[in-house]
Structure 1
Amino acid sequence: MATEQILILDFGSQYTQLIARRVRELNVYCEIHPYNHLPEITSAVKGIILSGSPSSVRDADAPTVDLNALRHQAPVLGLCYGAQLMAQSSGGEVKPSSIREYGRVKLGTVNDQNPLLHGIDQHSQVWMSHADTIMTVPDNFNVIASTDTVRVAAFQIEGEQTYGIQFHPEVTHSLQGKVLLRNFVVDICGCSQSWTADSFVESTVAQLKEKLGDDKVVMGLSGGVDSSVAATLIHRAIGANLYCIFVDNGVLRKDEFEDVLESYKELGLNVKGVDSKQQFYGALTGLTDPEAKRKAIGKTFIDVFDQEAHLIEDVSWLGQGTIYPDVIESVSVKGPSATIKSHHNVGGLPDFMKLKVVEPLNTLFKDEVRAVGKTLGLPDTILGRHPFPGPGLAIRILGDITAEKVQILQEVDALFINGLKREGLYDKVWQAGAILLPIQSVGVMGDERTYERVVALRAVTSVDGMTADWAHLPYEFLADISNEIINKVKGVNRVVYDISSKPPATIEWE
């Protein structure tokens, strides 16, 4: 994918994806790999970053790698756990901290003559998060930064481009963290910062032409950013040999089927629309468990998609809009992880389809996908569209799915989304939607008592969807939307607003 890259070894830290985001922001390509699935380290790997971890290096089963081998192949930067692992494996001592350092801390002394710390101010604020601390280091470890309570806040191994720091430069609370990472990635590792949206499009289209040749590709479109950008890349490589299918699963947003088909016409994509609402409603009948609903929708989609794909002769490939967070969240550092929710883009192909998979975006984060889409000339109506879950409104209707519930939620959602657009709030929000709750509440309309449905509105701000904060929408706007929903949508008499952040909550309710 790229001529040069930074390799990030993941030991299970909650911040690992943030490290990748910061490196990508420097226009340098990087990949995350679990520490126990080390890829081949080729000449393209210009540097290696070791992540933090919830584990302790003192544990009997502490995750580890052959650091001696890594140190002789490329510059290495250990963050928190990574630094402690380096120190301990070289004969240093790591012990439980007498005072747990968590949160904002000021560096006490900084050797700003060291290449890693060029431009880092004395007393610079950093973010600590560790229960262990490095007490002693071997003689060939030079301490280059300290805090009032941590003597070894940063070190370099003498004669090597090997560094360790006990704080987290990837989080925004480390005010000069980007400076430190740039020092490592650009100055120490020598990366050229040439990985841009333009270069990605150029290299990816060339690779797709070589990979696909004259083969035919079939692809399911959703109207969202990911599948639209992926389809445009593939179309640019193979033209009319790309066949796109857009399935109406009955749980799309209001008028979405017609609107999306119209927008794809403008892109010149060969798209067939398939109305399968009743088939999906049949598969969802009586299901209330979120995973059961996801699986029913996934299976029905594959059935419909397979039937349509068979109408196209000699198809060899399935195109997918899988993006990097989907891939990362589906790989665990220590074997199978607890399933938060099924990713509809990852690993869902049955054997009988016999198609090879092409995923041109599976190394990109969401904001990078948008940048690539802009380079490709996609309209803002697609690029600026909020993320929408693969199972659609089925996971925003808590409980069983009926056509009546879908219609109610479509109306509520349309009022909410159109209101955000009307008030200039839509582009300030990462994702918004409405949730139909499985409860009813007492209300009064006119002189009559009502007992009707409750809807929750959800809007969040985020950069890449991995973390999110609830959107602080104006009270006046929320009041107007609440009134509009209750007045215009029959069957709803109460509106609530979700003020939960991710974590601990997820963006979607199911």
Structure 2
Amino acid sequence: MHETIIILDYGSQYTQLIARRVREAGVYSEIHPCTIPTEEVEAMNPKGLILSGGPCSVYDPEAPQLDGNLLSLTRDDGSPVPVLGICYGLQAMAHLLGGDVEGAERREFGRAQIQFPEGNGASELFDGVPSGSTVWMSHGDHLTALPEGYEIIANTENAPVAAVRNLEDPHYGVQFHPEVVHTDFGRQILENFAYKICGCEGDWTPASFIEERTAALREKVGDRHVILGLSGGVDSSVAAALLHRAIGDQLHCIFVNNGLLRKGEWEQVQKTFRDHFHMDLHAVDATDRFLEVLDEVVDPEEKRVLIGNTFIDVFESQTDEIAEELGHRPTFLAQGTLYPDVIESVSFKGPSATIKTHHNVGGLPEELNFELIEPFRELFKDEVREIGRLLDVPEDIVGRHPFPGPGLAIRILGDVTRERLDLLREADAIFIDELREKDLYDEVWQAFAVLLPVQSVGVMGDERTYENVIAVRAVTSVDGMTADWAHLPHDFLGHVANRIVNEVPGINRAVYDITSKPPATIEWE
């Protein structure tokens, strides 16, 4: 059992960032809804509690409130469990304990400079944080009166109460958001809470995860067999590497070429997992089958459904072949589910509104009758990448940008044909190659090309052309939930456009997407 800091989610858009920052400090953290019973929290024996921000006002009738018993939890040695309230979490603590929380005359969103008043004693929470450093505010309410037994330990020009602490118990609250990158010393603040206040030693590392999970998988699987749908993306690739380390030839990977892969991906995945890792890889080229069902389909949701259903049919067929070879059906199905997917299902706010069907092709039917193995369901993407590097997964896979399960089908707006797929693959490969060549690939979170359903007039070789338009897209992001368009150098974009138009017959114009998320999504479909 790792030392654990529990994060209670009050609906903040930043809750996942809190967990990530704590884990980056080497301390395991878990997110739970703020409605979780206190006795369940107590049973987890946490080293500390963090109360997240949230969109509500504590004085609203429907606002989630803090169970006062959480402030009385003790650890095995009898010491009180430290608590850190962030934004709404601070206000919930103050409201419960008799302090006053009111709507501010001037709401505060954005950067502010934090100051530490003299005479309140040194605060371990801000050890190493200089006065005048930047913090990120995002609130419309503020404290106007402190609960009894609390003192102010920080303020800003607009927030007289920017941070507080209890004079007896290790209970703290901050009005700003230390988890976001805009807070200069936010990482230091959360590390101070974890180490100086909670007394953590930092026993959470990717290497320790590999050893523990390998042993657990061996015990769970025993002499039985596991199948895994390998896409060539980060999650399934690292899951395959971990499972192969644990159970060797008892793992059977199924890699389906749906005809919608990136240039060279069909060959690369087979070379990596069959030749490098020596895995039992069942690679099936079902391009014709997928393109047949996609013929003249232009609606993006219909594309997803057809691709998903066809994938299931092919997957089932390959599973039957594996079962015939083994003389019995594999017991387990492994998937690369990540922690954000789990968090979404238990969030205080509930699952997000469906903007589009999830990019990952999956949803295998229950009648397949497998036991599920999800080795990464407690991990974030960046943790999976680090584990992949430790497992010797090649960097061109483990460092790869996210790629949607429906593949290039949703990066071709309109009808999906072999000809249009070939155009998109070539243009996309040029864009990605140039990003790598100019050391820009790792500077962006995701980059790709989109083939538009329009044609434009051009002049090439003194002749008029009427050909396709390609859009290139690159964004910066932390987790894909929000994203900004990448401000790539103009000279670089001009060079990419010139190469695409000159080297890909059938394209005579390239445009760059400069829309952020929101209001747009990262993908075009």
TM-score category, normalised to shorter length: over 0.9
On the 8 A contact 1:412/1:489 being kept in 2, the answer is yes
CA distance in 2, matches of 1:12, 1:273: 43
CA distance in 1, matches of 2:233, 2:351: 29
Alignment pair present for 1:417 and 2:417: no
Alignment of 1:121-270 (within 5 A): 121-264=130-273, 265-270=275-280
C-alpha distance 96-386 of structure 1, shift in aligned 2 (>3 A) = same
CA RMSD of aligned residues (A): 2.1
CA distance in 2, matches of 1:70, 1:203: 32
Structure 2 letter corresponding to 1:215: R
SS in 2 for 1:410: helix
* Aligned equivalent of 1:50: 51
SS in 2 for 1:385: coil
C-alpha distance 441-87 of structure 1, shift in aligned 2 (>3 A) = same
C-alpha distance 335-127 of structure 1, shift in aligned 2 (>3 A) = closer
TM-score (norm 2): 0.91
Greater than 4 Å deviation, 4+ residue runs: 37-40, 344-347
Q: CA deviation at 1:48?
A: 1.2
Q: CA deviation at 1:346?
A: 9.1
How many residues align? The count is 509
* Aligned equivalent of 1:36: 35
Per-residue CA deviation, residues 362-413 of structure 1 (Å, 9 max, x unaligned), is: 2222221111111112222222222211111011112232222212111211
C-alpha distance 149-497 of structure 1, shift in aligned 2 (>3 A) = closer
CA distance in 2, matches of 1:346, 1:186: 41
* Aligned equivalent of 2:311: 301
* Aligned equivalent of 2:68: 67
Per-residue CA deviation, residues 83-142 of structure 1 (Å, 9 max, x unaligned), is: 101111122111110111222222233446122232333333221111011111222222
Structure 2 letter corresponding to 1:470: W
Q: CA deviation at 1:455?
A: 0.7
On the 8 A contact 2:66/2:93 being kept in 1, the answer is no
Structure 2 letter corresponding to 1:476: D
* Aligned equivalent of 2:123: 114
On the 8 A contact 2:282/2:318 being kept in 1, the answer is no
C-alpha distance 359-140 of structure 1, shift in aligned 2 (>3 A) = same
C-alpha distance 286-90 of structure 1, shift in aligned 2 (>3 A) = farther
Gapped runs of 5+ residues in structure 2? 75-80, 324-328
* Aligned equivalent of 1:92: 99
Alignment pair present for 1:321 and 2:328: no
* Aligned equivalent of 1:369: 384
TM-score (norm 1): 0.94
* Aligned equivalent of 2:507: 492
CA distance in 2, matches of 1:176, 1:420: 31
Structure 2 letter corresponding to 1:81: Y
SS in 2 for 1:150: coil
Gapped runs of 5+ residues in structure 1? none
C-alpha distance 141-396 of structure 1, shift in aligned 2 (>3 A) = same
CA distance in 2, matches of 1:322, 1:130: 33
C-alpha distance 259-509 of structure 1, shift in aligned 2 (>3 A) = same
Alignment of 1:386-465 (within 5 A): 386-465=401-480
Q: CA deviation at 1:434?
A: 0.4
SS in 2 for 1:173: coil
**Which deviates more, 218-227 or 376-385?**
376-385
SS in 1 for 2:396: helix
Q: CA deviation at 1:344?
A: 4.9
SS in 2 for 1:292: helix
**Which deviates more, 465-474 or 298-307?**
465-474
CA distance in 2, matches of 1:347, 1:47: 37
Per-residue CA deviation, residues 60-81 of structure 1 (Å, 9 max, x unaligned), is: 1112241323542422111000
On the 8 A contact 2:501/2:507 being kept in 1, the answer is yes
Instruction: Tell me the percent identity.
Output: 56
Alignment pair present for 1:285 and 2:284: no
